Amino acid sequence: MAEYIIKNGHVFDPVQGIKGDKADVAIKDGKIVKDNEVSSKAKAIDAKGKTVMAGAIEIHAHIAGPKVNVGRIYRPEDKLFTYTPKKGNIRMAGGFSIPTTFKTGYEYAKMGYTTAMEAAMPPLFSRHVHEEIRDTPIIDEGAFPVFGNNWFVMEYLKNNEIENTAAYCAWLLRATKGYAIKLVNPGGTEAWAWGLNCLSVNDPVPYFDITPAEIIKGLIEANEYLGLPHSIHIHPNNLGNPGNFTTTLDTLKLAGGYKAKNKFGRDQVMHLTHTQFHSYGGENWGNFESKSKEIMDYVNKSKNITIDTGNVTLDETTTMTADGPFEHHLTELNHLKWANVDVELETAAGVVPYIYSPDIKVCAIQWAIGLELALMAKDPMRCFITTDHPNAGPFTRYPRVIKWLMSAKAREAQIKAFKNSDKVIAATHIAGMDREISLYELAQMTRAGPAKSLGLSGMCGGLKPGMDADVVVYDFSPDKPVANPDQIEAAFSRAAHVFKSGVEVVTNGEVVNNGNKRTIWVNAKVKENPQVMRDIQEKFLKYYSVSQANYESLGHHFVPNPYAIEVDATQ
């Protein structure tokens, strides 16, 4: 493999505590090495006056699988006039809010993202998810199977059987080649199978005689029993409704008293995702307001919690979530086309297009809340930037979100541009906030932080020798004052150089190589558990519509280049 030495850049690496000092980064055999370990043949990249960081890590996005593809299938208008043609071996790429798999890989890479997590994999559809992951070039990907409405989980946890729950989780992670335990509207999505919902952590789940709170606590315990790399990753109940911040606080409080147990350097026991959608005050859309402060006060003092933001980007987009009842609620509000899939024994999903218009007060308040969360975060290692792609906006807007976070001037300009500017200011905290996220904090929020939360900090998110050589050079000088905030957006949109596992995949903002992407999954070993194996067999015989032998994601077609993280929970 080619050797590289990236010279004289301003390096930002929270893993080593480097805060913009001039340093060289050397690459050999796909890894970062010490400068003196590359030969004289190493290709030099001049990064003078530029910013150097590790490859960024997407902790939560809907980029592969059945509901994403429903979005693609049912929104031809999302592709209209968006295509970039094929060029040599680089495939044609199109779509705006739900790009094709090729465009997904290319766009992430161009922005300097090298690892991404698909946030909700319906286990029955894992083979579909993996086919799409395979066709998404360059970036390493993992996928979170959903557990929060799973019949096995609810039946075991009804009797507080943590060991059985853990054994089942380990089996399902292996069968689906999954990465982490994801919960979406726990209990509420099962209720949706009857057209109902669970809007608080104490609403009983129909028939199953369990509450969301019991599901959440039980899965935290199972997760820590197994010692998985990531914590439970939760989309709580009551998403998107005015006044839902109390449900969010109730959910966060369930993590109280738990301590992370794992060998991956992870400290949290709960990751709360797209927090923006869960930080709402008011009783209706008329008196809707930001409760970011109440949420961040709790998050800031709770070291065993990490969050991501879910920033609204003010675009026309496509919402999609395993929160089936929410999507039905949304289509009743905006009357746009509604897709829904209920998945036997496991989950559901809904898809509805949505337009975040700067002329609508609620959308502008949502925009403010997302930014407030990040600007109020005391520990950037526990608050990560996402757009919950494509729910609050497409991931391709990260550079714009970064601009808003790094420049109070840019925020001010946007606030002024809102049609209901005064009402938005009154319902939020954004106008008075002068914090500007530094490049070091940005590296924490998009690299080192998510890597730590995912239990991948030994592998990526930093530039320490021995780590994967995922390196980005941005044409952005930390020395010079930013005359126009749009420079920030431009620089982070198209990286000057991107290396993935030591291969240069992007040069001057253009994809030059399809890379050698990997599928990351977690192989957790547990003690033999004949009861769980019998239960699985029985459910397949009686209630599933496929046979157990045809359920697993196996082999070269689905996972051609696997990277398995081994976890031993047999002790």
CB-wise, 34 or 337, nearer to another protein?
337
Question: What's the CA gap between 210 and 198, in Å, rounded?
Answer: 11
Q: Are strands 383-384 and 43-46 parallel, antiparallel or unpaired?
A: unpaired
Tell me how far, at minimum, the Cβ of 321 lies from another protein, in Å: 15
Tell me how far, at minimum, the Cβ of 236 lies from another protein, in Å: 23
CB-wise, 484 or 550, nearer to another protein?
550
CB-wise, 530 or 555, nearer to another protein?
555
- List of residues 6+ apart from 542 with CB closer than 8 A: none
Question: What's the CA gap between 86 and 83, in Å, rounded?
Answer: 9
Cβ-contact 258, 335 below 8 angstroms = no
Cα angle 50-52-55, degrees, rounded to a multiple of 5: 140
CB-wise, 127 or 230, nearer to another protein?
127
Q: Residue 129 in 3-state DSSP?
A: helix
Tell me how far, at minimum, the Cβ of 150 lies from another protein, in Å: 13
Question: What's the CA gap between 68 and 136, in Å, rounded?
Answer: 13
Question: What's the CA gap between 389 and 321, in Å, rounded?
Answer: 10
Token pair recorded at residue 209: 């005689």
Secondary structure string (H, E, C) spanning 536-551: HHHHHHHCCCCCHHHC
Tell me how far, at minimum, the Cβ of 63 lies from another protein, in Å: 10
Cβ-contact 177, 127 below 8 angstroms = no
The backbone torsions φ and ψ at residue 268, rounded to the nearest 5 degrees and listed phi first, read -90, 160
Strand partners, 52: 11, 473
Residues that bind another protein (CB under 8 A): 64, 66, 68-69, 72-80, 83-86, 88-89, 91-92, 94-95, 98-102, 124-125, 127-128, 131-132, 135, 193-195, 207, 328, 331, 335-345, 348, 351-352, 542-547, 549-550, 554-555, 557-558
Tell me how far, at minimum, the Cβ of 207 lies from another protein, in Å: 8
CB-wise, 416 or 542, nearer to another protein?
542
Question: What's the CA gap between 179 and 121, in Å, rounded?
Answer: 10
- List of residues 6+ apart from 172 with CB closer than 8 A: 123, 145, 147, 150, 178
CB-wise, 225 or 521, nearer to another protein?
521
List, as one string, the DSSP characters of 439-452.
Answer: HHHHHIIIIIHHHH
Tell me how far, at minimum, the Cβ of 175 lies from another protein, in Å: 12
Tell me how far, at minimum, the Cβ of 70 lies from another protein, in Å: 8
Strand 140-145's sheet: what is its strand order?
Answer: 56-61, 113-121, 140-145, 519-526, 562-569
CB-wise, 38 or 348, nearer to another protein?
348
Tell me how far, at minimum, the Cβ of 381 lies from another protein, in Å: 34
- Residue carrying structure tokens 């992670």: 173
Question: What's the CA gap between 188 and 211, in Å, rounded?
Answer: 9
Question: What's the CA gap between 450 and 221, in Å, rounded?
Answer: 22
Tell me how far, at minimum, the Cβ of 128 lies from another protein, in Å: 5
Question: For residue 21, what is the enclosing H or E element?
Answer: strand 18-28
CB-wise, 83 or 359, nearer to another protein?
83
Q: What is the largest CA-CA distance in the chain?
A: 69
Tell me how far, at minimum, the Cβ of 205 lies from another protein, in Å: 14
